[in-house]
Chains A and B, each alone.
Chain A
Amino acid sequence: MSFSATSWGFKPMRILPPSKITDGYEPSPPELNTEKGVLDIGSSSECDLIEESKLVAETLILRCTLRPIPYLNQDIKVRLISEGNPLEDVLLYDKGSLTYGYEREFEHSMVQGIALDYTGKGRGVQGGEAFVFEGADLKEGCIRCANPLYVKPFSVESQSYAERSTSLPSRQILISPPGVLNARILRGFGGYYKEGIKLEDIQQVYYSLTSVENKTRVRLFSSTVLHEQHTPAPQGGRDFNKQILFHPSPERHHYLSLSGALAEGFCSLLVEYEGSVTKFTSTFGEPIVGHPNLIDVYFKPI
């Protein structure tokens, strides 16, 4: 036996098998994003439409102190010139110059104004609900007002005054100024105020000139009396045989009482809210029981 020629070609035993090229990695499809992202936020919706008058308080009530402002110009003199003869002049604001016919206290009638000072406390009503507030900040908005909140003015004599009375051949008497016949001329003297009185009694007092024993005398008239005798300011009227005339004709805020002026809205304030300004005017003044110099002033928006 011997090895055949095929021995040259016998199958060798490889140290390691031949390496093969292996398949690589093929990922499975990923989670797909198939859309472009658009986020829509919004839907049909109603709006809140509000009447502006309902945006702010329906009523504001401001607590105020009453502060009389006395008239200090005591040197004003008045004189009556009767039939061309000047009578002796007198100081208008002197008790000695008065004559009969005036029931009120002279010393409480020389007020040129009543100031209403806001105490910083108030109440209000909005949407039917009451609320209280302090200072200027309200539930909605804030108050813009002057200090004092309001001064109720009264007409006063600001300079010396002379009145001429001349009998005419027709037996009529010419009063000048203003140049009228058979008339009593009433001029503003000042306001009447006394602590604790009713608000409607805080009112204008007038005077007229007369002669007593060749001297000029001052006669005072309260608004109440003039009203009772149907000769109220500003139109006046006839009292017995004389015409009652106001000269100069008084302005409305002068001849109204404090309660009248408040009722007529002479006192006002502004409420600023969201860039808009609402005007509130006074409607009523209410004294506070036990506090003679305090009142509540009621305001309504206009």
Chain B
Amino acid sequence: MNLHLNWNAFSDSTALFEVEISQEEGAFAKAKLLIDALAPLPKIGTEGILYIDANEILFKGVLESTPHKIVGHFAEIVLIAKPVDFLNQLNDIQKELRVHPFWDPLYIRPEKLNHVEERQDVRAASLYCDRRTGKLSLSDWFNGNQVIDMNGNFFEDSLQIKTIGKPLKACSLQVHAHWIQRQGGIANLSPAIRRAFPHYKVNTYTKDALQDKWPETGKRIGRSGVWIIKSKLRAVNPPSSLYPKYSPQLPLEDAKGLIKQHRLRRHWFKPTLWVCWQAHQKRKETITFTLNHNSYQGEGDHKQLEFRLQNINPDPKSYPWQPATMYRVGDKICQGSSYYRCHTAHTSSMTFDEKNWTFKKKFHTPIGSPARASFFLNDRGYKAFEHALERARVELIKSTRTLEISFEASWEDLKSITTDSSVRLKDPRLPKGEIKGKVVKYALLAKGETGELFGRVTLLCSKAQESIQKKATKPKPVYVLETYCEETYQVQENHLSQTPTGLQYYRYDDQTPPSIGQGNLLTGLELINGPLEQEADMRNHRTPSHLKKAMARKPTRLRLHFNDYRTKECIEHVIQCDVVGV
């Protein structure tokens, strides 16, 4: 066997005195070469190819640096099997890797989302770069693409068997989503106000009581999140005699003691009162589950992992459209799930009018509507949960590789070994006399001085192979009867779902969060001293002055009670999901 090194830059090959080719799982292969110290070296980064005999490529890599050390007539150089088109290959492979359920951008910081040189997916596989071809691919942790059947062809005394740690019996995950829930709306309260009065029209015997204190447009109702956007109280002269202008007759004594009939003027109004409300609430939703490794119950640890998702309700810089607001040209708003830019200065009315705006683009947020009270209950939330399941699964799988086996064998038997290889060994010292393991580390050594040619390999094996458990249950509808509504709206108990990798879990649609501000904006409307009460009271007085004083003490008042939109420190909601183990 003849090993020689050819550089792309030179026509002559470089003589080699010692070769050590090594690789670890998830790393590039390296070739450490001992050459003549006086041999010319190309520039750093030049590709060199290590051949066996005439044309069998053993290694292809680039010169990493100037010689590491020079001792006597020899110099040590290192080649790295990193292909020149590594980034292109990586880019292509990352595109394939970043798919549901193995990848979820909510688990990655936004500024790193476009980093190609960062592994963001979660799989039971490592990146593998072939030392001979430079091809980048994924290599499964348990089954390499190449299976080398060594049987007993290894140096018997080199066999080492070691147990490293214990497989996890379970992995529990908590995934938290934090966001600001934004709710809001507008309401016309005029009809409700009218309904509070007799004759369904605002009327009173104390005119200024309402008119003086009718709220002005723009007024904020304390720090309740409610404010007035349109307001007016217009005095009207009802056209019909159904709406009396005066009270019933009131016999009152004048100064001379004469009884004279009097009446109180009844004032009628047309009310306009529109309000806008907005409630921002900090929310934290946690989904928690435990994935058991049923093959290893009673052994190992129970791993706990915790993740906090990225912003599921991004877009803090855009402003939601608001009614009764002055907009200038160039103002940007979001309405529904679209961005708009104002092209005509205007004051908005009560409803969004697209004619003043230029549509810019659509946007999607993981939460969907910013008013939603739950994230994990929507489709995107289920995807984030399924990704978390994958993370737990990978943790369990990784922990099962607890048997480390090392051995040495001849160069000839191992010259094709890579970290994308599985090796089958037979030996009475092995569990059950035979094992198949995945190569996680190897080295091929050729020593010119001694003529030694051999390989050294480390395998990782698991005692039991992964098997995904399956259950079959019949879901039970709990929202309405089975045929009553479309399936989309139904909520079911014992409803099993399955991730794309086959993991099963019970859907948790029924675990709804506490909501805020449910129901109508206006929760109560009190009419105090309405015209009928005033009429009842006005008959009890004998003189005009007494009557006037009494009415001054009994002005008509309206009290409107709004829904409770007070911000709580944080509304927390925990979803417990049951998962079928692996």
Contact = CB atoms under 8 A, between A and B. Distances in A.
Contacts of A55: 246, 263
Interface size band for A: 35 or more
Interface string B133-159: 000100000000000000000000000
B117 interface: yes
A274 B261 CA distance: 14
Contacts of B179: 25, 27
Contacts of A33: 223-225, 279-280, 565-567
Nearest to A17: B118
Interface string A2-19: 110001101011111111
A37 B221 contact: yes
Given A25-B308, A49-B262, A40 B557 contact: yes
Interface in B210-255: 210, 212-215, 221-226, 241, 244-246, 248-249
A275 interface: yes
A19 B107 CA distance: 11
A24 B548 contact: no
A129 interface: no
Given A33-B567, A39-B560, A49-B544, A14 B445 contact: no
Nearest to B71: A1
B200 interface: no
A38 interface: yes
A27 B32 CA distance: 51
B18 A23 contact: no
Contacts of A16: 26, 90, 117-119, 127
A22 B112 contact: yes
Interface in B161-195: 176, 178-180
| Among all A-B residue pairs, the 9 with the closest Cβ atoms | A24-B308, A42-B557, A37-B224, A37-B562, A30-B280, A12-B27, A48-B265, A33-B225, A45-B209
B205 interface: yes
A40 B212 CA distance: 12
User: In this complex, which of B246, B555, B557 has the most chain A Cβ atoms within 10 angstroms of its Cβ?
Assistant: B246
Interface of B: 18, 20, 22-24, 26-28, 30, 32, 34, 71-72, 74, 76, 80, 82, 90, 106-109, 112, 117-120, 127-129, 136, 176, 178-180, 205-210, 212-215, 221-226, 241, 244-246, 248-249, 260-265, 277-282, 305, 307-312, 443, 445, 447, 449-450, 456, 528, 544, 547-548, 551-553, 555-567
A18 B71 CA distance: 35
14 contacts: A1-B72, A7-B445, A13-B27, A14-B28, A30-B280, A31-B280, A32-B223, A35-B222, A35-B223, A36-B224, A37-B225, A37-B565, A42-B210, A48-B265
A276 interface: yes
A228 interface: no
B249 A52 contact: yes
Interface in A96-137: none
Given A2-B449, A50-B263, A29 B311 contact: no
Contacts of B119: 16-19
Given A15-B26, A16-B119, A276-B249, A2 B260 contact: no
Contacts of B309: 24-25
B84 to A, nearest CB: 15
B260 A51 contact: yes
Given A30-B281, A39-B562, 5 more contacts: A12-B30, A17-B117, A33-B223, A34-B223, A42-B555
B206 A38 contact: no
A21 interface: yes
Interface of A: 1-3, 7-8, 10, 12-19, 21-27, 29-53, 55, 274-276
A81 B206 CA distance: 78
A43 B456 CA distance: 95
A2 B449 CA distance: 8
A3 B248 contact: no
B178 A274 contact: no
Most buried by B among A10, A23, A39: A39
B552 A44 contact: yes
Given A16-B117, A35-B224, A7 B262 contact: no
Contacts of B244: 274-275
B552 A45 contact: yes
A3 B21 CA distance: 12
Given A37-B224, A45-B206, A275-B244, A53 B263 contact: no
Contacts of A45: 206-209, 212, 552, 555
B80 to A, nearest CB: 6
B206 to A, nearest CB: 4
A3 B310 CA distance: 48
Given A37-B225, A274-B245, A43 B555 contact: yes
B103 to A, nearest CB: 11
B280 to A, nearest CB: 3
B516 to A, nearest CB: 10
Nearest to A46: B552
Contacts of B30: 10, 12-13
Contact of B82 (A13, A18, A44): A13
A37 B32 contact: no
Nearest to B181: A30
B102 to A, nearest CB: 12
Point out which of A13, A15, A27, A29 has the most chain B C-beta atoms below 10 A from its C-beta: A15
B558 A3 contact: no
Contacts of B223: 32-35
A22 B22 contact: no
